[in-house]
Structure 1
């Protein structure tokens, strides 16, 4: 992929490693000797104030999706899956 394609697909979006792990935000697309990488940042844990950062291969991440039943509605109730 080219730099502009990666920026369009990932820049500012929330991703997760395909193998699992924390949610990360893509801050930039960088060129390295090993090829194009996504500069990703995340917090070490749910209660951590330490921000971690790493350049990752675009093929190793996927766009993250929040489960619909875990998003509170305006009343604070959890949504129930349709069905």
Structure 2
């Protein structure tokens, strides 16, 4: 019978939950900033992070990428940030 590492299974489950919740979705930093797309879930020394991509400045061709923890982002709800009008 194989030995099962519960911590490894727990980590795999955590990655799976994050992947289903965020991969391909549009997010924004809780503190504001550009809209970003979650490209993938990546390991970091402090746990799994969302690898987010965005263009800087918006509308440019310079693609930026950074791993961000779930606690620092929120799903975009389609509303403009406060103070922004069209």
- What are structure 2's unaligned runs of at least 5 residues? 1-12, 81-86
2:70 to 35, 49, 58: 58
Distance 2:58 2:23 in 1: 23
4+ residue stretches of structure 1 with deviation over 6 A? none
Normalised by the size of structure 2, how large is the TM-score? 0.73
Q: State how many pairs are aligned.
A: 68
Native 8 Å contact 2:34 2:58 kept in 1: no
Cα deviation per residue 1:23-77 (whole Å; 9 max; x = unaligned)? 0000000111121100000000233110000000111000001139xxxxxxxxx
1:3 aligns with: 15
Normalised by the size of structure 1, how large is the TM-score? 0.76
